[in-house]
């Protein structure tokens, strides 16, 4: 093939320059497009990482809030338990009967010569059995118990008073509930 070049030398150089210019422009456009593509990818990755970071921060904040909530729940459970124990103790104290005061009264009123062998209670009723050296000592003990404000219905069966000396006795009486609930007489 034969090619004829009919263009003058100046125009031919001009066309070569124009062709080279458009090649450079095309290559610059391709390079710019590739560069723009990578910039878009980097911006997208940055946006995704920012979203993930915010999500992780939210998750961390929720976990911390959850831990705080669980700790608060533990404290509430402890408070409920302590309150239940305190309520139980208050109920016990409210219904507690102080029998020690009765024992102090028996100790103070019991004359020499009277020995107690058993002491039993049923509700507020008290039964005492024992031995008295003399009948008069037992009657004095009964009279002292009768004048006590917290004791009601002090009774010694007549069958126990038949013998004058070394008599076995059964003494029954009621203790008022108000006296049993007081801490002191």
* 90 and 124 assigned to the same domain: no
Structure tokens at 148: 């006590």
* 46 and 76 assigned to the same domain: yes
Indicate the residue among 46, 75, 96 that finishes a domain. Answer: 96
Which domain range does residue 161 map to?
100-181
* 78 and 148 assigned to the same domain: no
| Rounded CA separation 4/155 (Å) | 156
Count each helix (H run) and each strand (E run) in the chain, helices first.
Answer: 4, 4
Helix (H, G, I), strand (E, B) or coil at 96: coil
Tokens 């309520």, residue? 87
pLDDT tens-digit series, residues 71-90? 889 999 999 999 999 988 88
In a domain, 3, yes or no: no
Indicate the residue among 65, 96, 127 that finishes a domain. Answer: 96
Give the global pTM: 0.50
Closest by Cα among 9, 5, 8, 183 to 98: 183
pLDDT tens-digit series, residues 86-145? 988 888 777 777 778 888 888 888 888 888 899 888 888 899 999 989 888 888 888 888
Q: How many domains, in total, are found in the chain?
A: 2
Indicate the residue among 53, 81, 96 that finishes a domain. Answer: 96
CATH number at residue 134: 3.30.1360.100
| Rounded CA separation 13/20 (Å) | 10
Burial class of residue 180, CB neighbours in 10 A (0-12, 13-18, 19+): middle
Whether 127 and 172 have beta carbons less than 8 Å apart is answered as yes
């Amino acid at each position: 093939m034969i090619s004829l070049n009919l263009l003058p030398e100046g125009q031919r150089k001009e066309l070569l320059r124009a062709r080279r210019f458009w090649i450079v422009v095309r290559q610059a456009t391709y390079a710019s497009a590739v560069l723009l593509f990578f910039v878009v990818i980097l911006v997208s990755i940055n946006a995704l990482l920012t979203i993930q970071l915010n999500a992780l921060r939210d998750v961390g904040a929720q976990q911390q809030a959850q831990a705080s909530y669980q700790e608060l729940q533990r404290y509430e459970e402890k408070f409920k338990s302590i309150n239940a124990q305190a309520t139980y103790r208050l109920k016990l104290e409210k219904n507690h009967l102080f029998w020690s005061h009765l024992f102090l009264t028996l100790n103070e009123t019991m004359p020499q010569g009277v020995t107690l062998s058993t002491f039993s209670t049923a509700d507020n009723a008290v039964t005492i059995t024992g031995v008295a050296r003399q009948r008069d000592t037992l009657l004095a003990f009964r009279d002292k118990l009768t004048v006590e404000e917290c004791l009601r219905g002090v009774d010694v069966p007549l069958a126990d008073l038949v013998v004058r000396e070394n008599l076995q006795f059964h003494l029954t009486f009621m203790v008022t509930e108000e006296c049993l609930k007081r801490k002191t007489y």
